[in-house]
């Protein structure tokens, strides 16, 4: 049960993580949008700046062609603070004026006007530039470019800010998720612990303290209402079986007392008494079956029991009976195997099994009881070479009041409750009942859960 806990906590954490991730994705999306916008606007501003420069040069070129242009570029290059890249060459490639000594690579002149069309971004060193390269009439290459460093610096700091914000969001999301999961798990664990206690047989277990006024409080209230109902039903069942016992056995008791006063017809009185005992056995078996089924799955009332010892004791009780009937008896019990159980119920179960086997086997048949430790539990085996269960019956044989027709025909006495009680008691102990296929007779295997070895 407790092994499921980390998985349950993971569900809450997963939900919290999902919510944190969703919020982060939205925030990052919004920031990315803003980033694109800023980037576009700044590039546009750079292009405008470039256009303005080009317009200036165009006006000078219109007046005095290359000479004016050369003077203006020389002047501008001298005053330049590094934010501009200007270069004018003659038709042989010699530099006429400019900030550069050579034509930068990766920039091919296109067209011959002073418009800012086809502006290209290119890199020189660590800096990116936005520029226009032209070949003016007469074969004079001209390059006018503006540095993109301020734009890149701004965008870089924007990116850093976003990364920091994302990290902060992640941390906040994780923290909120952890606290939420812890809070929820605390509340859920309270209810889980309660459920475990109830499953362990403590039907009167309840959560202490007042209910909080929220969905968990409501859940606790509902769980409590449910437990009250289960407890009432359980109490009613027990009361009913006690009442039936009382109301049936009290009149039977009066009959028994009166029967013992009958003189002269002792045989008839004895027969009646044995009929009454048989009736009580049927009815006790029914109550025992119901009780074992009602308690199934709960460990309540079970204590460590030496299964090996109980098996040997019950075997000792029945072995002479089996020998007298001419059965070959084999006992192979590994000593010291312990289970969580009710000694009396286990003994009753074994007694039913051995009694059945002896009843149905014929002289010469073999009967064996085995108990051995396996990897996943203790395996108790009761095997005989008698007639076995009819194929038409098999699993049905474990239902109440089911008997094989051939037994009824042969006049074998029974009430059809023995195996039903066996199954109920096995289930009460969490022992798995297996019917392995055998060539002859009946073999029943019970896989008992192990009890951890005690010091």
Partner 1 sequence: MDRILIVEDDPETAAAVAAEVRGLGCEPVIVTTLEEGVAAAPGDFKVIVLDRMLPGGDGVEAMARMRANGARAMILVLSALGRAANRVEGLEKGADDYLPKPFEPEELRARLRALLRRGTMQVLDNDLLAFGDLEIRMKARTVHIKRAHVAVSPKEFELISYFAQNAGQVVTRMQLLENVWNLHFDPGTNVVDVHVGRLRRKLEEAGSAAIQTARGEGYVFAPMAAK
In the complex, which residues of this chain contact partner 1 (CB under 8 A)?
242, 245-246, 248-250, 252-257, 260, 266, 270, 273, 276-278, 280-281, 284, 287-288, 291, 313-314, 316-318, 320-321, 324, 342, 344-345, 347-348, 351, 355, 358-359
Residue 326 CB, nearest distance to partner 1 (Å)? 13
Measure the CA–CA gap between 285 and 276, rounded to whole angstroms: 14
Going by C-alpha positions, the residue among 341, 342, 340, 300 that lies closest to residue 201 is 300
Number of neighbours of residue 45 by Cβ within 10 angstroms: 13
Measure the CA–CA gap between 203 and 230, rounded to whole angstroms: 8
Residue 421 CB, nearest distance to partner 1 (Å)? 10
- Contact present, 199 and 43 (Cβ < 8 Å): no
In the complex with partner 1, the residue whose CB is nearer, 220 or 295, is 295
Report the SS3 class of residue 87. strand
In the complex with partner 1, the residue whose CB is nearer, 128 or 291, is 291
Residue 179 CB, nearest distance to partner 1 (Å)? 49
In the complex with partner 1, the residue whose CB is nearer, 213 or 257, is 257
Residue 236 CB, nearest distance to partner 1 (Å)? 16
Report the SS3 class of residue 97. strand
For the record, the structure tokens of 49 come out as 């700046």
Residue 306 CB, nearest distance to partner 1 (Å)? 13
Residue 10 CB, nearest distance to partner 1 (Å)? 43
Residue 262 CB, nearest distance to partner 1 (Å)? 12
Going by C-alpha positions, the residue among 411, 384, 408 that lies closest to residue 326 is 384
Q: Residues 6 or more apart from 152 whose CB is under 8 A from it?
A: 127, 128
Q: Residues 6 or more apart from 345 whose CB is under 8 A from it?
A: 288, 292, 425, 428, 429
In the complex with partner 1, the residue whose CB is nearer, 260 or 332, is 260
In the complex with partner 1, the residue whose CB is nearer, 348 or 385, is 348
In the complex with partner 1, the residue whose CB is nearer, 52 or 236, is 236
Residue 244 CB, nearest distance to partner 1 (Å)? 9
* Angle (CA) 272 276 280, round 5°: 170
In the complex with partner 1, the residue whose CB is nearer, 160 or 239, is 239
Measure the CA–CA gap between 70 and 61, rounded to whole angstroms: 9
Distances (CA, A) of 40 to 35, 126, 158, 196, 346: 9, 21, 14, 63, 84
Residue 289 CB, nearest distance to partner 1 (Å)? 11
Residue 439 CB, nearest distance to partner 1 (Å)? 28
> Tokens 């004895």 identify what position?
270
State the DSSP H helix or E strand holding residue 343, giving kind and residue range, or none if neither: helix 343-360
In the complex with partner 1, the residue whose CB is nearer, 184 or 369, is 369
In the complex with partner 1, the residue whose CB is nearer, 160 or 281, is 281
- Contact present, 95 and 89 (Cβ < 8 Å): yes
Would you give the DSSP letter of residue 396?
G
Q: Give the CA diameter of the chain.
A: 158
Distances (CA, A) of 354 to 34, 85, 376, 408: 85, 107, 25, 20
In the complex with partner 1, the residue whose CB is nearer, 249 or 432, is 249
Half-sphere exposure for 453 (CA within 13 Å, toward CB):
4
Report the SS3 class of residue 241. helix
For the residues of 119-175, what is the DSSP string, one character each?
A: -EEEEETTEEEEEEEEEETTTEEEEEEEE-HHHHHHHHHHHHHHHHHHHHHHHHHHH
Residue 15 CB, nearest distance to partner 1 (Å)? 47
In the complex with partner 1, the residue whose CB is nearer, 28 or 252, is 252
In the complex with partner 1, the residue whose CB is nearer, 133 or 286, is 286
Residue 379 CB, nearest distance to partner 1 (Å)? 24
């Amino acid at each position: 049960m407790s092994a499921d806990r980390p998985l349950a906590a993971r569900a809450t954490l997963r939900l919290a993580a999902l919510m944190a991730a969703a919020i982060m994705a939205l925030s990052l999306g919004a920031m990315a949008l803003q980033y694109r916008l800023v980037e576009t606007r700044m590039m546009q501003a750079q292009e405008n700046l470039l256009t303005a420069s080009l317009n200036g040069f165009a006006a000078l070129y219109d007046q005095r062609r290359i000479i004016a242009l050369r003077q203006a570029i020389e002047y501008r290059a001298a005053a330049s603070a590094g934010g501009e890249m200007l270069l004018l060459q003659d038709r042989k490639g010699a530099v006429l004026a400019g900030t550069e000594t050579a034509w930068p690579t990766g920039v091919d002149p296109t067209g011959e006007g002073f418009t800012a069309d086809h502006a290209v971004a290119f890199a020189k060193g660590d800096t990116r530039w936005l520029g226009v390269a032209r070949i003016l009439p007469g074969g004079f290459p001209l390059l006018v470019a503006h540095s993109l460093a301020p734009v890149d610096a701004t965008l870089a700091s924007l990116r850093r800010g976003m990364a920091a914000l994302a990290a902060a969001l992640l941390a906040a999301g994780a923290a909120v998720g952890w606290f939420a999961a812890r809070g929820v798990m605390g509340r859920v664990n309270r209810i889980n612990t309660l459920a475990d206690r109830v499953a362990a047989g403590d039907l009167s277990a309840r959560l202490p303290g007042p209910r909080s006024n929220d969905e968990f409080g409501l859940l606790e209230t509902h769980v409590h209402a449910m437990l009250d109902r289960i407890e009432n039903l359980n109490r009613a069942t027990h009361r009913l079986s006690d009442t039936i016992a009382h109301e049936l056995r009290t009149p039977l008791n009066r009959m028994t007392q009166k029967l013992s006063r009958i003189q002269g017809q002792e045989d008839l009185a004895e027969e009646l008494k044995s009929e009454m005992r048989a009736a009580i056995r049927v009815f006790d078996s029914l109550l025992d079956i119901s009780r074992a089924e009602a308690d199934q799955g709960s460990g309540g009332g079970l204590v460590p029991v030496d299964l090996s010892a109980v098996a040997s004791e019950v075997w000792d009780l029945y072995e002479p009976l089996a020998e007298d009937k001419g059965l070959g008896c084999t006992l192979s019990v590994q000593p010291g195997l312990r289970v969580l159980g009710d000694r009396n119920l286990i003994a009753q179960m074994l007694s039913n099994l051995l009694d059945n086997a002896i009843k149905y086997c014929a002289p010469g048949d073999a009967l064996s009881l085995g108990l051995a430790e396996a990897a996943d539990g203790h395996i108790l085996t009761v095997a005989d070479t008698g007639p076995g269960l009819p194929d038409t019956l098999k699993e049905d044989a474990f239902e109440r009041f089911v008997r094989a027709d051939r037994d009824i025909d042969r006049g074998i006495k029974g009430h059809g409750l023995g195996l039903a009680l066996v199954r109920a008691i096995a289930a009460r102990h969490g022992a798995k009942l297996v019917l392995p296929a055998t060539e002859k007779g009946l073999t029943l295997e019970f896989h008992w859960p192990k009890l951890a070895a005690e010091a």
